[in-house]
Structure 1
Amino acid sequence: MAQMPIRIPSFDEQRKIGTFFKRIDETIALHQRELELLKQTKKAFLQKMFV
């Protein structure tokens, strides 16, 4: 394989990329918890409707 230069982001840029993905992960986790609560609420309402 020919010698190809590989660009490696600076440490500061790597940290910013890491922070970006961490925030995305946190947002996804938040929405997953919210979805689970909504599903539980739906289930509770359905149980009350069809006793």
Structure 2
Amino acid sequence: MSAQQTQDDQVHTDDTLEEVTKHIPVVLPLAGAVTIFLLAFIAVKMA
């Protein structure tokens, strides 16, 4: 029975790196947009 349990553990392991990297295509452009907006706001405020 322990052999079945170890096989299930190998199948259902949660990789934190995979959990993070699947959100990168959404988060990276949003972070870039916020950065550009803040830089433009600072430029207008100082002008």
TM-score range (shorter-chain normalised) is: 0.5 to 0.7
Superposition RMSD in Å: 1.9
Listed as ranges, the gaps of 5+ residues in structure 1 are 38-51
TM-score after normalising by structure 1: 0.51
Aligned-pair identity in percent equals: 0
More helix by share: 2
Q: Which whole-Å CA distance do the structure 1 matches of 2:21 and 2:27 have between them?
A: 9
Size of the aligned set, in residue pairs, is: 32
Listed as ranges, the gaps of 5+ residues in structure 2 are 1-13
Matching residue's letter, 1:14: I
